[in-house]
Amino acid sequence: MDGLSKMTPAEAIETAAQSLALHVRRAKSFVVLTGAGMSTECGIPDFRSPGSPWLANPPMPYDRFLASEEARREAWRRKFALDDHHKGAVPGEGHRALARLVSEGIVETVITQNIDNMHQAAGVPADKIIELHGNGTYACCLDCGRRHELAFCRRALEKDNRAPRCEACGGIVKAATISFGQAMPQEAMRRATLAAGSADLILAIGSSLLVFPAASLPLLARDNGAVFLILNRGETGLDDEAHERFDVEAGPVLSSLASHLARRVN
Ligand code: NAD
Ligand code: ZN
């Protein structure tokens, strides 16, 4: 919506919410794809915005992580530096609004690129959320799959100056996220493809839509006949592909959208 930039922030939020509500009322199957911009209002930095601590702590590619103990120690050091940056973060207005839309049956599925567990913390049930890039709030053994808590990993690093190893089998323990160069989780991709492919409305929220295959999901939905909308501050890689885009803060828009639609349900 080009006109949004000429409005006051409050007007732009309300205009975007009303316009989104019209689309949602027409839809039978409404799916969202969320990205890091969803969580910036909680103090969790996104990836590409200027000054992001991700730049100082870039993700370790998977092959390097596997290649040496030194790289693993460095990967863990960077992860904890980033985690410490937003210690104690709680879900924001946008997460709470989306959770409400899910509980009211208005949003069918939340597909997320985020690894911060905020949708779940806001109350979205496990069967309604698909994590494409895993979850950074725990770790797993790459050999036997056993879950390890971050406190255990941090102790290994900070007390013993070594990368954590599996308590059961001695295998390499890694945050339960999908690193660059690591295979996508098959079951999550299967569910996401099904959800996007059968949606008739897909809204990408707070994502630069530059990371694939996540960014291919709205295109799949659109090619199957869905309306594809973008709610994002700033440009995305798919602006020319969407039916409409709203360049505005996500949290307040989602909150207003949930209020508009709740009035319909009640
Ligand atoms: P990105 O950083 O590439 O893009 C985020 C987009 O959101 C930007 O265009 C930014 O302008 C916009 N944005 C920021 N705050 C916003 C707000 N309040 N309202 C609306 N828009 C806002 O993020 P991405 O596309 O998700 O890709 C980054 C990758 O890094 C993902 O794969 C993700 O797994 C990972 N990551 C996750 C988190 C997280 O879990 N919170 C944080 C950083 C990175
Ligand atoms: Zn193991």
Domain 1-44+91-133+184-266: which CATH class?
A: alpha beta
Ligand 2 mean position, distance from CA 170 (Å)? 6
Condensed to tens digits (0 to 9), the pLDDT of residues 181-224 reads 999 999 999 999 999 999 999 999 999 999 999 999 999 999 99
Encode 128-190 in three state secondary structure.
HEEECCEEEEEEEECCCCCEECHHHHHHHHHHHCCCCECCCCCCEEEEEECCCCCCCCHHHHH
Q: What are the structural domain ranges in the chain?
A: 1-44+91-133+184-266, 50-85+134-177
What was the pLDDT predicted at 53?
84
Using DSSP's 3-state secondary structure scheme, residue 246 falls into: strand
Q: How far is CA 82 from CA 59, 136, 200, in A?
A: 10, 11, 37
CA of 111 to the centre of ligand 1 (A): 14
Q: Does domain 50-85+134-177 have CATH number 3.20.20.140?
A: no
- Residues 125-165 have pLDDT tens digits of 999 999 999 999 999 999 999 999 999 999 999 999 999 99
The residue whose CB lies within 8 Å of the most ligand 1 atoms, and thus the one to mutate among 42, 46, 113, is: 46
Give the Å distance between the CA of 252 and the centre of ligand 2: 43
Q: Separation of 232 CA from ligand 1 center, angstroms?
A: 9
Q: Does position 93 have pLDDT exceeding 70, yes or no?
A: yes
pLDDT digits (tens, 9 = 90+) for 44-72: 999 887 788 888 889 999 999 999 999 99
Q: Which atom of ligand 1 is nearest to the CA of 59?
A: 30
pTM of the predicted protein model: 0.96
In this prediction, residue 266 carries a pLDDT of 46
Q: Best substitution site from 32, 47, 178, 229 to test ligand 1's pocket, by max atoms within 8 Å of Cβ?
A: 47
- Catalytic residue positions? 133
At residue 102's C-alpha, the angle toward residues 99 and 105, to 5°, is: 155
Residues within a 6 A CB radius of ligand 1: 35-37, 39-41, 44, 46-49, 113-116, 133, 206-208, 210-211, 232-234, 249-251
